Structure 1
Amino acid sequence: MAAPPGEYFSVGSQVSCRTCQEQRLQGEVVAFDYQSKMLALKCPSSSGKPNHADILLINLQYVSEVEIINDRTETPPPLASLNVSKLASKARTEKEEKLSQAYAISAGVSLEGQQLFQTIHKTIKDCKWQEKNIVVMEEVVITPPYQVENCKGKEGSALSHVRKIRQSALLPRLECSGAISAHCNLRLQGTGDCPASAFRVPGTTGVHHHTQLEMRFHHIGQAGLKLLS
C-alpha cells in the first residue's frame, strides 16, 4: 500500500522507495526522523559478507514514491545501551582534528604538509601546528617543505621515529621515460548530484566513506611507466 504523506514508519517494517533518479530502494526500517524526513533502511550487504548489512539514508522530501510492503505492528525490541562518554570522547577528538585541518588550510600549509600531519597524528596524538611547522611531542619540529631532512630535534628515539614516519609517508610519484603512451582510467563511485541520492554505508558499525576511488594505469611504450615509492 502507498504511504500517506507525513506518516510515521514503524521500526522493522519493509519499505520500498523510488528516488528522483528512478532508483528503487527497498529495506527494513531501522530509524525515521519525522522533522527532517530522513528514513534509514537496512539492506543486504553489498559486499556479500554474512552478518553484515548496508544502511541507506534517504531524504523523503526528494522521493517520488514510498510503499510499505510489510508493516510491523508489534513493539520493536529495546534499543541497545550506548557508551555516552566514549561517544563524547570520539566526538571531541574528531572536532580537534577538524579544527587542526582548518588551521592548516588557513595558514597556507601545503597539501603535502597537511597529509604528513595527519599521518603522524594517527600514531602520535601529541602532534600540533606551530604556524606552518609541525611539532611532535614537543621534541621534534618539521619545517616546510616537510622532507626527511626538515625533521629537526635532539638526536634520539623520538627524532628517529618521526623521520621513519616521514620516509614511509613519501607520496608515490609517476616517472615517465622514453617513448611512452599512457592513459589513466578514473572511475568515481558514489552518490550523484541529485539531493535524493541515498548514502550507502557498508558494514554494521562505524562510518565509512560513501565514495570509492578506483584508478588503473595502462601503458604502451619502450620504457614503460614506472611507479616509484
Structure 2
Amino acid sequence: MADNKRNSVAGKVATPKTTGSGAPATQSALPETHEAIAKAIGARVKLTTAAPESHTYDGTLYTADPTTNVVVLNTRVAATNPSTDLASQPSDYRIIPIPRIQSFQIVSLASGERVRESESGIASAKPSIAAVDIRRLEKRCEDRVRALKEQEKNRGKGVSKEGQAIFDAFKRINTQVRWHDQQMIVSEAVIITPPYRVEDCKGSKDKQEALIRIKKVLEGERRKIKEKEEKERRTGTPTGPRKGG
C-alpha cells in the first residue's frame, strides 16, 4: 500500500496555474501550489523557473515557507546516508519565490517518507523539545521579583541625584546602607542627613570608630563623584555607571 503511494507520487509534476498570457501564477493560485510543494519537503526534486530568466534546479527540498512565499533548495549532492538529517547535509542553498516556479517534479521521495503522519507533532520534533522544568522557571521568577524589590528598596524617595549616587557608591563597596525617609543609615551606626556631606554624618558616642571610618569613605566617594561630573562637563558625554568602589 505504502509502495503504491510512493510510486504514484514520485514523478508527478506540480505546475502553477498561469494566466492566459502564460505568466506565472497569481496570488490566488499559490495556496494550492504551496500545499503540493510542502508535501515534498526532504525529497529530491527538480524545478524550473518561469521566463524571462528560466533555470532548472535539481536538489533536496529543504523547506517551503508560506509566509515569505519561497522554497529553499539544497542543490548540493544528497548525503550518501539517506537517514541523515537535512540540516546536517552538505549544503548550497538557493531561495526561489514560489510564483516563479513554472514546473515542479519529485525525482525521489525522502527515506521513510521523512515524517509519517502518525509521528507528527511535538513528540517527533527535530531537534527534540525538552520537558519544561517548572520549578526552575518558578525560581527564576522569584529571583527576578526579589531583585526588583531590592532595586525599589534602594531607590531613595525625594532625594537628590547626588544623594542617590552616594547611596549607590556605598552599595558598590559592600557597605551596609539603607534609606530611612531621606536619611541614610550606614552600618546601622551612622546617620547621614541631606545634603549628605561629611559634616552631615552623626553617630552615638559608642559608635565613634564607625563614624570616623564612614566619614573617610564618604569623603572619598564624594570626591570621585565630583571628578566624574567634571569629566562629563569637559567631554560633554556621560561616562555611565562607574564600576568598583
Coarse TM-score class (shorter-chain normalised): 0.3 to 0.5
Whose Rg is larger?
A: 2
Give the number of the structure with larger relative contact order, counting CA–CA contacts within 8 Å between residues 6 or more apart.
Answer: 1
Give the TM-score normalised by structure 2: 0.36
Question: Comparing both structures, which one devotes a greater share of its residues to helix?
Answer: 2
Question: Comparing both structures, which one devotes a greater share of its residues to strand?
Answer: 1
